[in-house]
């Protein structure tokens, strides 16, 4: 990093900022406790050249080492695509994800500070039984939720659990690589799309020739990647991946809908046999606004759920989740009720997020009744 970027990152870390924005004609803005602020250390508007230099320095990290004409390639990508993703480490090892983008014919940069240490499931307010997914030797585990809901952090925790407990080979395919996993009990290789591979699907096909036990696919975005991920899960590999969907049922439908209509009946059967479980999560602001809590929904692929997936009756899965606590399942309403009862989040916020407010109300009333008894 340049001295300017190192200074930006140092201020970010000292003040606990989650994001930094670099914009031509504006001073750097830091997101602290959800609000964008200007720090006294950087009060002056940034000239175009300063933003451009920072962007080019970051952009070079997305290219293969020793790539000729690196700056020109970064500029060409920005002109063609309009944006560029990547991740870098600061001098103290803190990790940052970045997006460089064009706006009003100028260059802008958004930096997000990532956790420098791996958190436990308890730290993330996630059910401890999610660690059970790490013990499978094959199959598909999906983590879903909207952008910024903590999917990458959850996956990093699960991969770290495997890394420290199993003597196996882990390959991650990401865009960009966000969390650095040093090989511990497992051997870990991390590949970044654009730098180490042309695409997710190319890297996933390559991975099948690299003797993996566990494969993490940062995001399955297209038919080729979905098809290859399903094949990998069916042929003796444990595959973790992310999807953009609002809940577990939505993730099932999103996965199947990528395939052409004439294939979907067969795919449902394949998917129902390969799937191990789905975690859907959201982040919700705490009562005092100082932090956010993960609100998970967990679906375990029991024989009953697998039958619903295979026969296309996915609308009934929510009922299975609501009544499936003994199998390790957890409904969104259960998670919301627990946070309300522990005075972590406001009740009106919980009702606004619930799939079925009536179920949330029943859970809250039952909990109050139990306390009175």
Instruction: State the pLDDT at residue 304.
Output: 97
Are residues 83 and 24 located together in one domain of the fold?
yes
Mean pLDDT of the chain: 92
- In tens, the pLDDT along 114-160 reads 876 888 999 888 999 999 999 999 999 999 998 878 898 999 999 99
Are residues 186 and 325 located together in one domain of the fold?
yes
Mean pLDDT of 356-360: 93
Strand partners, 69: none
Are residues 356 and 323 located together in one domain of the fold?
no
Residue 118 lies in a domain: no
Instruction: State the pLDDT at residue 324.
Output: 95
Q: Does the pLDDT value for residue 189 go beyond 90?
A: yes
Are residues 309 and 356 located together in one domain of the fold?
no
Per the structure, the complete domain to which residue 11 belongs is given by 3-113
User: Residue 370 — pLDDT band, cuts 50, 70, 90?
Assistant: low
Instruction: State the pLDDT at residue 371.
Output: 57
Pick from 58, 79, 113: which residue ends a domain?
113
Instruction: State the pLDDT at residue 274.
Output: 97
Mean pLDDT of 230-258: 95
Are residues 245 and 309 located together in one domain of the fold?
yes
Are residues 296 and 312 located together in one domain of the fold?
yes
Residue 316 lies in a domain: yes
Instruction: State the pLDDT at residue 61.
Output: 86
Instruction: State the pLDDT at residue 62.
Output: 84
Q: Does the pLDDT value for residue 312 go beyond 60?
A: yes
Give the domain CATH number at 34.
Answer: 3.30.450.90
Pick from 65, 80, 113: which residue ends a domain?
113
Residue 98 contacts residue 109 (beta carbons within 8 Å): yes
Higher-confidence residue of 68 and 50: namely 50
- In tens, the pLDDT along 196-234 reads 898 999 999 999 999 999 999 988 889 999 999 999 999
Mean pLDDT of 78-87: 90
Are residues 89 and 138 located together in one domain of the fold?
no
Instruction: State the pLDDT at residue 64.
Output: 77
Are residues 202 and 214 located together in one domain of the fold?
yes
Are residues 140 and 196 located together in one domain of the fold?
yes
Give the domain CATH number at 201.
Answer: 3.40.50.300
Instruction: State the pLDDT at residue 49.
Output: 94
Whole-model pTM?
A: 0.85
Question: What is the per-residue DSSP string for 152-182?
Answer: HHHHHHHHHHHHHH--SEEEEEESS--S---
Residue 163 lies in a domain: yes
Residue 149 lies in a domain: yes
Cα 260 to the center of its chain, rounded Å: 26
Pick from 113, 144, 179: which residue ends a domain?
113
Q: In total, how many domains does the chain have?
A: 3
Taking alpha carbons only, the member of 200, 163, 204 closest to residue 180 is 163
- In tens, the pLDDT along 270-297 reads 999 999 999 999 999 889 877 888 999 9
Mean pLDDT of 228-246: 94
Residue 224 lies in a domain: yes
User: Residue 36 — pLDDT band, cuts 50, 70, 90?
Assistant: very high
Percent of all residues in the chain with a pLDDT value above 90, rounded to a whole number:
72
Instruction: State the pLDDT at residue 237.
Output: 97
Residue 120 lies in a domain: no
Are residues 175 and 85 located together in one domain of the fold?
no
Spatial distance between the Cα atoms of 161 and 216, rounded to a whole number of angstroms: 13
Residue 124 contacts residue 153 (beta carbons within 8 Å): yes
User: Residue 369 — pLDDT band, cuts 50, 70, 90?
Assistant: low
User: Residue 354 — pLDDT band, cuts 50, 70, 90?
Assistant: very high
Residue 119 lies in a domain: no
Are residues 353 and 232 located together in one domain of the fold?
no
User: In Å, what is the CA distance from 181 to each residue of 33, 132, 163?
Assistant: 28, 20, 8
Strand partners, 35: 32
User: In Å, what is the CA distance from 55 to each residue of 74, 102, 304?
Assistant: 9, 11, 51
Residue 186 lies in a domain: yes
Are residues 89 and 142 located together in one domain of the fold?
no
């Amino acid at each position: 990093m340049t001295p300017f970027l190192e200074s930006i990152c140092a201020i970010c870390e000292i003040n606990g900022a989650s994001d930094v924005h670099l914009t031509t004609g504006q001073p750097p803005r830091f997101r602290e406790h959800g609000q964008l602020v200007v720090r006294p250390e950087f009060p002056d508007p940034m000239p175009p050249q300063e933003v451009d230099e920072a962007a080019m320095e970051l952009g070079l990290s997305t290219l293969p080492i020793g790539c000729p004409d690196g700056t020109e390639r970064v500029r060409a990508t920005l002109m063609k695509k309009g944006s560029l993703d990547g991740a870098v480490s600061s001098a103290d090892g803190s990790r940052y994800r970045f997006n460089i983008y064009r706006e009003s014919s100028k260059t802008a940069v958004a930096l997000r500070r990532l956790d420098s240490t791996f958190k436990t499931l308890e730290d993330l307010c996630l059910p401890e039984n999610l660690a059970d997914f790490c013990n499978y030797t094959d199959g598909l585990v999906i983590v879903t939720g909207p952008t910024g809901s903590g999917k990458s952090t959850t996956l990093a925790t699960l991969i770290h659990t495997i890394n420290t407990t199993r003597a196996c080979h882990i390959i991650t395919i990401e865009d960009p690589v966000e969390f650095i996993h040093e090989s511990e009990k497992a051997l870990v290789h991390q590949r970044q799309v654009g730098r180490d591979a042309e695409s997710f699907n190319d890297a996933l096909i390559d991975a099948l020739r690299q003797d993996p036990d566990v494969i993490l696919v940062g995001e399955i975005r297209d038919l080729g990647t979905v098809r290859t991920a399903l094949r990998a899960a069916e042929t003796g590999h444990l595959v973790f991946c992310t999807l953009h969907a609002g809940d577990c049922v939505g993730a099932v439908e999103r996965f199947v809908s990528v395939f052409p209509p004439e294939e979907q009946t067969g795919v449902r059967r394949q998917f129902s046999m390969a799937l191990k479980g789905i975690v859907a999560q959201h982040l919700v602001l705490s009562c005092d606004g100082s932090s956010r809590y993960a609100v998970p929904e967990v679906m375990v692929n029991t024989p009953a759920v697998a039958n619903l997936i295979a026969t296309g009756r996915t609308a009934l899965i929510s009922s299975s989740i609501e009544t499936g606590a003994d199998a390790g399942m957890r409904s969104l309403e259960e998670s919301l009720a627990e946070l309300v009862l522990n005075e972590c989040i406001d009740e009106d916020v919980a009702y606004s997020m619930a799939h079925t407010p009536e179920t949330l109300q029943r859970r809250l009333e039952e909990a109050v009744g139990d306390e009175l008894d």
